[in-house]
Amino acid sequence: MASLAAAKLGVRNAGRRVGPASPTSCPRTSRWKNEDGGQVIVLVAVAVAVLLGIGGLVLDIGMAMVLRGDEQRAADAAALAGATEIFLGGTVSDAELSAQAFAEENGYDSAEVVVRVPPKSGKHIGDPNYVEVSIRRTSRTSFIRLLGIDSLAVTARGVAGLNPLPGDYALIVLNRTACKAYDHTSSSNLTIKNGAAIVNSSCEPSAYQGGGSLVTGTHLDYYVEGAWQLSNNATAQPSPTAVGFQIEDPLADEPRPVPCGPPPGGPSGCIGKSPTSDGTASNPKLTHITSATVLQPGTYYGGLKISGTGGGAVKFKPGLYVFAGGGSSTGGFDYTGTASLSGTGVTFFNTDYAAAPKAADRPCGDFSLQGSGSLSFTAPTSGTYKDMLFWQSDSCTQAFKYAGSSWTIAGVIYLPNAQLNVSGGGKLGATQVIVDTFSYSGSNAITIDYTNYVPTILPVIALVE
């Protein structure tokens, strides 16, 4: 029986490998599975920690960037506030206090704000026209604190100051306080081609325009404390704009011609040549022209008057013509009548004559061009008085009366302390007009063809760093 059972077992197991069982095979498979699972858990935990760290870093840095944006806006605004103080004539201390106060109004205390006038770094280091503001605040972290980073330091810096920009002013009205410094009572139009106008005065109105007139230019500016008043259906194109500055006299430092006194002379470089025998340094006398002639440059002691001539021509040789004293009744440069006047490369300068022996001859004479003949003048294109055409000294306060019609002139009209009184019409010419005040009462439209003889600089306050 035993052998039969063995035989059956042998048949049943035919083709199979029969040997001793491996008591360790099943337990080994179970341990490997446990070890693999543990490694996965560790890797997942590390990955989650890294992702959380990256996410936390992104969020905390994002919050820091928002804080920096706020700081930058506050620093820029504080720097502009300080620069404005300097522009308005304040001291360094005024600028620092203004900048500090502005930063504090935006939520930053004095320990977080540093104001430097002038800047201690950057492109404008050492320049007292600029203000540097730095703000530093510590941002507490929320997520990356788990990585041992408790805070992030956030810093912003702004620098502001005067940023001069070129202007395109064909008409500059310099007076800073006069009401109606620009006084346009004519019903006719004023056109400024390719140029602008600016009125400096702080009075209201600083510019007056009436009579249904139209003024046009590239832009029409007036100081913000003044006003451009439009009356009786007057219009301006484009609409006048308030600006936050009063433009400086661009010719304030230009050396003025000075007439020489009686022998033994006068200051170095004075203009002493008397081109006629009518007036001399010792005996000023009005030179009166009544017929066609050719005039020479030099000093006309007692002034020059041109009248009559029956339509004849008076020609001016190139050079500087100084009209020295003579008083308002007889001196200066007075043109009436029908004569045609012409000159190329000429400068006409009206001034007083303090060295005149008689007190009556010392004041400025009138500067008046009111003839009916043709007029063609161009300023020098080189030399000491380049581009200067009609010029009046600072001591002369009488109005320059300009009443021509379609005269042809090219150059600068410069009256630092006097009014340009235009009562004629037509084209003023290729000019740049720089005057104390301006009055227009003529019955014909006038045109100024702007030419940039004298660069004008606008003192704009701006962020520069």
State the burial class of residue 439 (Cβ atoms within 10 Å of its Cβ: 0-12, 13-18, 19+): buried
Q: Which of 165, 189, 209 is the last residue of a domain?
A: 165
> What pLDDT score was predicted for residue 67?
75
Given 3-state DSSP classes, what are the helix, strand and coil percentages for the chain, each rounded to the nearest 5? 20, 35, 40
Other Cβ atoms less than 10 A from the Cβ of 406: the count is: 15
Residues 220 and 156 in one domain: no
Residues 192 and 305 in one domain: yes
Residues 143 and 175 in one domain: no
Q: Evaluate whether 185 touches 211 at the Cβ level (below 8 Å).
A: yes
In the predicted model, what is the mean pLDDT of residues 318-335?
Answer: 94
Domain count, the chain: 2
More confident residue, 192 or 405: 192
**Nearest-angstrom CA–CA distance, 292 and 245:** 49
> What pLDDT score was predicted for residue 1?
42
Amino acid at 114: V
Residues 223 and 266 in one domain: yes
Tell me, yes or no, whether 55 lies in a domain.
yes
pLDDT tens digits for range 167-183 = 899 999 999 999 999 99
Query: Which of 197, 181, 265, 188 is CA-nearest to residue 234?
Result: 188
Tell me, yes or no, whether 304 lies in a domain.
yes
State the burial class of residue 227 (Cβ atoms within 10 Å of its Cβ: 0-12, 13-18, 19+): buried
Tell me, yes or no, whether 9 lies in a domain.
no
Residue 256 DSSP symbol: P
Cα 62 to chain centroid distance, Å, stands at 38
Residues 159 and 194 in one domain: no
Tell me, yes or no, whether 12 lies in a domain.
no
DSSP class per residue in 160-223: EEEEEEEE-EEEEE--SS-TTSEEE--SS-EEEET-EEEE---SSSSEEE-TT-EEE-S-EEEE
**Nearest-angstrom CA–CA distance, 322 and 367:** 12
Tell me, yes or no, whether 11 lies in a domain.
no
Q: Output the six-digit token pair for 96.
A: 């620092």
Residues 175 and 147 in one domain: no
Q: What percent of the chain has a predicted confidence (pLDDT) above 70?
A: 83
**Nearest-angstrom CA–CA distance, 382 and 87:** 34
More confident residue, 216 or 50: 216
**Nearest-angstrom CA–CA distance, 424 and 447:** 11
**Residue-number span of the structural domain to which 83 is assigned:** 38-165
Q: Which of 165, 187, 221 is the last residue of a domain?
A: 165
Q: Which of 142, 165, 188 is the last residue of a domain?
A: 165
Residues 50 and 77 in one domain: yes
Could you list the beta-strand ranges (E) of 233-345. 235-237, 241-243, 287-289, 293-295, 298-301, 304-306, 313-316, 319-324, 332-335, 340-344
> What pLDDT score was predicted for residue 243?
85
> What pLDDT score was predicted for residue 269?
85
Tell me, yes or no, whether 395 lies in a domain.
yes
pLDDT tens digits for range 256-312 = 999 999 987 788 889 988 888 788 999 999 999 999 999 999 999 999 999 987 778
Residues 124 and 262 in one domain: no
With the CA atoms of 129, 135, 136 and 141 taken in that order, what torsion angle do they form, in degrees rounded to the nearest 10? -150
Tell me, yes or no, whether 26 lies in a domain.
no
Choice among 31-35, 381-385, 456-460 with the minimum mean pLDDT = 31-35
Residues 117 and 178 in one domain: no
Residues 173 and 185 in one domain: yes
Residues 133 and 200 in one domain: no
In the predicted model, what is the mean pLDDT of residues 307-326?
Answer: 92
> What pLDDT score was predicted for residue 41?
67
Q: Evaluate whether 173 touches 198 at the Cβ level (below 8 Å).
A: yes
> What pLDDT score was predicted for residue 19?
44
Residues 326 and 414 in one domain: yes
Position 142 confidence tier, pLDDT thresholds 50, 70, 90: low
Contacts of 425 (CB under 8 A, 6+ apart): 188, 405, 406, 442, 443, 444, 445, 446
Tell me, yes or no, whether 8 lies in a domain.
no
Please report where in the chains the tokens 């003839």 appear, as a residue: 371
